[in-house]
Structure 1
Amino acid sequence: MEAIQKIGQLIQQRRDNMRITQQQLADMADIGINTLYKIETAQANPTLESLQKITDVLGMEITIQVKKL
């Protein structure tokens, strides 16, 4: 699964689990609703800043790992 698609899926799942609407999350993260929609549906290449705002609201963290060979 492509990374952008996986990120969007994880954000949507966490938002759904927390019972937060897209509009509520967009407002809390101070990003546009269209931006959030595009991130969740893998139609955007989100900035690290946007992802950080979203993950902060959702209680998630962004990590980078070295791939296992």
Structure 2
Amino acid sequence: MHQQSIIETLKTRRIKLQVTQETLSLLTGLGLRTIKQLESGKGNPTLETIQKIADVLGLVLRLDIKNLTSENEINNDTL
């Protein structure tokens, strides 16, 4: 899932739960400006920031790392 999709999911969930940006700021300990910038697509949130918001909104953040090469083949040029 790309960052923008994650942010849209967080925003949609916040709205569905009828949580204001101000309340989300208080519950996460993040600045209101941070919440507003995040939802408007500005800034570059850390995983920690996204995790704080997901926790408050009752969402699970899962990171999948996929090996794009075969298990037996490692191309050192791409590392």
Shorter-chain TM-score tier: 0.7 to 0.9
SS of match in other structure, 1:43:
coil
Q: Which of structures 1 and 2 has the bigger CA Rg?
A: 2
The answer to whether residue 18 in structure 2 is matched with residue 19 in structure 1 is yes
Structure with the larger helix share: 1
Displacement of 1:66:
4.1
The answer to whether residue 25 in structure 2 is matched with residue 31 in structure 1 is no
How high is the sequence identity, in percent, across the aligned residues? 36
Inter-partner Cα distance in structure 2 for 1:60 and 1:24: 17
Inter-partner Cα distance in structure 2 for 1:18 and 1:26: 14
The answer for the alignment partner of 1:63 in structure 2 is 62
The one-letter code sitting in structure 2 at the alignment partner of 1:19 is Q
RMSD, aligned α-carbons: 1.9
Gaps of 5+ in 1: none
Inter-partner Cα distance in structure 2 for 1:63 and 1:24: 24
Displacement of 1:51:
1.0
- Please identify runs of 4+ aligned residues in structure 1 that moved more than 4 A: none
The answer for the alignment partner of 1:41 in structure 2 is 40
Gaps of 5+ in 2: 69-79
> Would you say how many aligned residue pairs link Structure 1 and Structure 2?
68
Displacement of 1:39:
1.1
> Normalization by structure 2: what TM-score?
0.75
